[in-house]
Structure 1
């Protein structure tokens, strides 16, 4: 009896997708490319088409669920951003997300391997085989490898956030405001412990996200403590023991002598600084963020360094280029590639110059970090940057509130902040010594005035102010320069973050040469410094605030 073939069986035998053996070489090539694209764009599509339909249906369901989650996240970002960010920054959510991403990576890998089986490599043209294998391995690495790396990043981020933020409950606003203390702290060479030299209180309106920034000069004296502060036992009339009691020394004093007054505090010195800022401004503070400059240096190193264009000679302390002895160094004008330590030296330098030039360089370093930060940097150096971030920032803000605070910070960018400095020029001239003999009733009145001004459309322009110039060489080597007991304003460094110029800009530099007419060199300036030729050094440093991030 002659066997019969039904119509559907005949169609199946001639279907290139399901029966490639009977197809032409060209059709088999098309089939292989189609299955590869389906696995890339619609995971599970290849299995539904020619393979295990049960596996394919499961994969398609997961794919649809993933797209639904992404679209829901986008919708929530534009309508419920605070809720979304709060959820995404919770430890359990981040842990779950890392597991889900890892599972998706494994699942997609299995689909790729099954697709490789379905393609039937042995039936393809010899010249196509290596091309297809290389392409599939590359796509497998891009998709499954990318999801695996994303899982790693989320888990690293979860651990980093847990190391930076506290695990307490969310902090309620006080009279509709959040007030935070921001400190830029440094334990520089020749110093007695860590000093918070940049002291700001940021007050944010919970409803409108309008912001007021209060700057407290580092040499502010007679700071008042809040009514419930244990420091009132030691200083009932405020921090008022003369030049020994400028506010930036309070942290060290409490750490060394009065930590027992804050038995439950992880960082007693910061708690005392919060009490002082609270009593001085008559505001209840909710938390603090302290940026440590050593961690700042580590972050720059984690980014791979920064590049700036310097318009003048910048003195600093370092190793002699020839003898390797510790001493005076100079950054030359032009393009500078700076690692973390060099970036801090470049930003801090003020010898033979002034605070205005120094602040310009500080802002230049900040802009270079922002401008030269890229997704490639984040992806390739994520672990290093997270580690540096843990060393850079210390805070008592709860992680449970991170999302809402991030949303509030984003909204605050739509408003120009009001600013008030507790000293010149907002309270008289520098000669009136308001920072030394402050009028607290006047301070409280000005604080209330700025808060009342919110929302009336009369936001105060930025007040570009600075503390009194400091001409000390804060890059001195420990073995050569030591700090005398008791702090003075002249021995303080300001942190890189948050400074703004308040003096007239320096004039353009003049062209200087050596006596023989040749161009200046670093070695010549080092020798001139040893000879005490201060006039020449000041001319060389003129204009060193002319700085811009490299393109």
Structure 2
């Protein structure tokens, strides 16, 4: 009996070093599939696993090097996202199976209970290390797809099928109405206090932002029921709606007969798009509405946004102040930065809002998006509504890449002293909007002349260049757009 016990201890002692070797081979197999199989003489299975691993790695490297844009464009295709999520889970399951099977092949016999338990725990930890990032990847893909399909609906572009080769249907520009909705707790409905038409060159990404003030009055309504009710311009409906441009959205929602056939939450956008199209004499293809309080959640999900404040801005209701200097603003602070009219005016606020959007666009880098993806997806889902269809997302993504990678972004605000909001000169508004868009189009043309540059605008007295772009705190408004890179402090 003593002899048999001693023999077992001897075998167990010989197996202990073998356990370390087995764990090392299992780790190697987790990093490069097939190692354990090849070491144990299973050449066919080992070669197959190694071949699959090399093929997957090579395919990933080639795709990341040569097809990066195509891969990123797949991220805005919901069907592909479903397949990617499923593929990630299958890959993770296969990977964990390889790890477990590798350990089974190289595990030595005769291990003591303690050594056997330690080996099993080590392999379980290794499987966990593989499963966690795989599960996170699949879950994030699901969250992203859910947010994408919640915000963007199917239905083609403007009622027509989207041609993958020509998604813009020959359009040289696409015009998107950017709306900031202020659904405050002390008021009923949504007021679109920020209204900007982004006219984007579909080839270069160069953009002109045409901004209308919230308090514009006496504007014409589009033909149909709206103009029938307000033949001489929008006048509102009593003290609650005195007739300002920011009331049109909610007025349409409250009066379905003005937009027959449109569903709830679509009546406002449709009437406002048509109204602004008439004011500017520019087509409005799509809209994006951002709820300003949801906007604060997006900024918090990013970890804040860095802006340069040039003068003190009152913050909150307790007398706090956003002091001048480089500041990282939290969501509510950024909301006040963009909305505050204390010691300033609507037009100064409009300038700050554009600079805030510019700062967010520049700071929403891939690292920020990836590390805070779940919070960003949830916040974005609840903050944004739009009529941009899913089918156009790849084209819009490619266009946004051009805008982010150095396209010129110019801004023109129709505010005093250029435009008197109480009695606007709509002929002048349309003329200046046309000049801004035409100048941007001419700038991207190889044959553009110097006078067609956005830094100069033809007037009755000749060509007047812009000298000194206004800051967000200035109310001076030139008759031609100015670059946001110059207008926003950095």
TM value normalised by structure 2 = 0.73
What residue number does 1:181 align with? 177
Out of 226, 232, 236, which is 1:231 matched to?
226
Cα deviations by residue, 1:445-479 (Å, 9 ceiling, x for unpaired): 4245325423237343796476998xxxxxxxxxx
Rounded Cα–Cα distance in structure 1 between residues aligned with 2:86 and 2:170? 38
Tell whether 2:97 aligns with 1:110: yes
What residue number does 1:267 align with? 266
Tell whether 2:293 aligns with 1:294: yes
Q: Tell me how far 1:162 sits from its aligned partner.
A: 0.3
Rounded Cα–Cα distance in structure 2 between residues aligned with 1:300 and 1:120? 51
What residue number does 2:242 align with? 244
What residue number does 1:283 align with? 282
Tell whether 2:404 aligns with 1:418: no
Q: Tell me how far 1:248 sits from its aligned partner.
A: 1.2
Q: CA RMSD in A?
A: 4.5
Rounded Cα–Cα distance in structure 1 between residues aligned with 2:205 and 2:368? 32
What residue number does 1:63 align with? 53
Q: Which has the higher contact order (CA 8 A, sep 6+)?
A: 1
Cα deviations by residue, 1:98-153 (Å, 9 ceiling, x for unpaired): 11101111111111112222332667899998987776555433323211210111
Q: Tell me how far 1:272 sits from its aligned partner.
A: 1.0
Out of 408, 425, 438, which is 1:449 matched to?
438
Give SS of 1:245's match.
Answer: coil
Contact 1:105 1:145 survives alignment (8 Å): no
Q: 1:336 to 1:125 in 2, by over 3 A?
A: farther
Tell whether 2:130 aligns with 1:143: yes
Tell whether 2:39 aligns with 1:49: yes
Q: Tell me how far 1:211 sits from its aligned partner.
A: 1.8
Rounded Cα–Cα distance in structure 2 between residues aligned with 1:286 and 1:182? 11
Rounded Cα–Cα distance in structure 1 between residues aligned with 2:412 and 2:287? 19
Q: 1:406 to 1:345 in 2, by over 3 A?
A: same
Q: Tell me how far 1:164 sits from its aligned partner.
A: 0.5
What residue number does 2:162 align with? none
Cα deviations by residue, 1:472-531 (Å, 9 ceiling, x for unpaired): xxxxxxxxxxxxxxxxxxxxxxxxxx999979x9xxxxxxxxxxxxxxxxxxxxxxxxxx
Cα deviations by residue, 1:266-292 (Å, 9 ceiling, x for unpaired): 421111111012122222222111111
- Structure 2: unaligned runs, 5 residues or longer: 1-10, 159-167, 456-465, 476-482
What is the number of residues matched between the two proteins?
A: 438
What residue number does 1:120 align with? 107
Rounded Cα–Cα distance in structure 1 between residues aligned with 2:321 and 2:206? 40
- Structure 1: unaligned runs, 5 residues or longer: 1-19, 319-327, 470-497, 506-547
Q: 1:139 to 1:437 in 2, by over 3 A?
A: same
Tell whether 2:243 aligns with 1:254: no
Q: Tell me how far 1:396 sits from its aligned partner.
A: 0.7
What residue number does 2:88 align with? 101
What residue number does 2:189 align with? 193
Rounded Cα–Cα distance in structure 1 between residues aligned with 2:204 and 2:313? 43
